[in-house]
Amino acid sequence: MSSHTEHPVRRSPSRRTAVTAAALIALFAWVLDQATKTWVVSTMALGERIDVLPPVLYWQYHLNPGAAFSMGTDHTWLFTVIMVVVLAYVVWRARHLGGSWRWAAALGGLVGGVCGNLTDRLFRPPGFGLGEVVDFIAVPRFAIFNVADSFIVCSMIVICLLMLIGLHLDGTRVTSSESSHDDPEGHEQEDREQEELR
């Protein structure tokens, strides 16, 4: 009787499955963001603050015409253009998405978050492309933000980590040969050292 224990093989999703998962995550992020903003606008007065987990977390209704930390309030249209460009680039890059759940989750969260804030810019007052973004999540000594912002920040952190560990968008990992190509000078130095030893 064999004592060998078989371990289940972890299967990567197909490209179609990964793209579908990314699209569903993006839709979930967008719906959650817009639903919470609709709730805030319909139930709270502008500037109103509600205790959630004091002194750590509050709801505070705030309209942001600028970027993060209310910067650039006189250039709202510029942030609308930037969001459109970022969204177009991420969707274009998603063509290379392969069998990676982690990349699917990261791209889906990023797209959903950008779409959430872009919806505000396009369709909320004072006008198309100039709309003010609804923020309501407040923590001490920090900016007031929203669900879309949370998805964007968390997704960017995951993307940076995936790049750091060498996981490509298509689900493959960085190989030693790729690393040497990325550093041709180091590769040439090694060749010279080996030649000198001979």
Residue 170: the pLDDT is: 86
For the chain, give the secondary structure using H, E and C: CCCCCCCCCCCCCCHHHHHHHHHHHHHHHHHHHHHHHHHHHHHCCCCCEEEEECCCEEEEEEEECCCHHHCCCCCHHHHHHHHHHHHHHHHHHHHHCCCCHHHHHHHHHHHHHHHHHHHHHHHCCCCCCCCCEEEEEECCCCCCECHHHHHHHHHHHHHHHHHHCCECCCCCECCHHHHHHHCHHHHHHHHHHHHHHC
**Mean pLDDT per 10-residue section of the chain, whose length is 198 residues:** 54 84 97 98 97 96 76 69 92 86 96 96 92 95 93 96 93 67 49 49
User: What per-residue confidence (pLDDT) applies to 103?
Assistant: 95
Do residues 44 and 50 lie in contact, with contact meaning Cβ atoms separated by under 8 Å? Answer: yes
Answer yes or no: 135 catalytic: yes
Residues 6+ apart with CB under 8 A from 143: 68, 69, 70, 135
Which pLDDT does position 13 carry in this prediction? 76
Query: Which residue in the list 149, 170, 182, 191 is annotated as catalytic?
Result: 149
Catalytic residue among 33, 120, 135, 191: 135
Q: How far is the C-alpha of 47 from the C-alpha of 155, rounded, in Å? A: 29
- Residue 54 has a pLDDT of 93
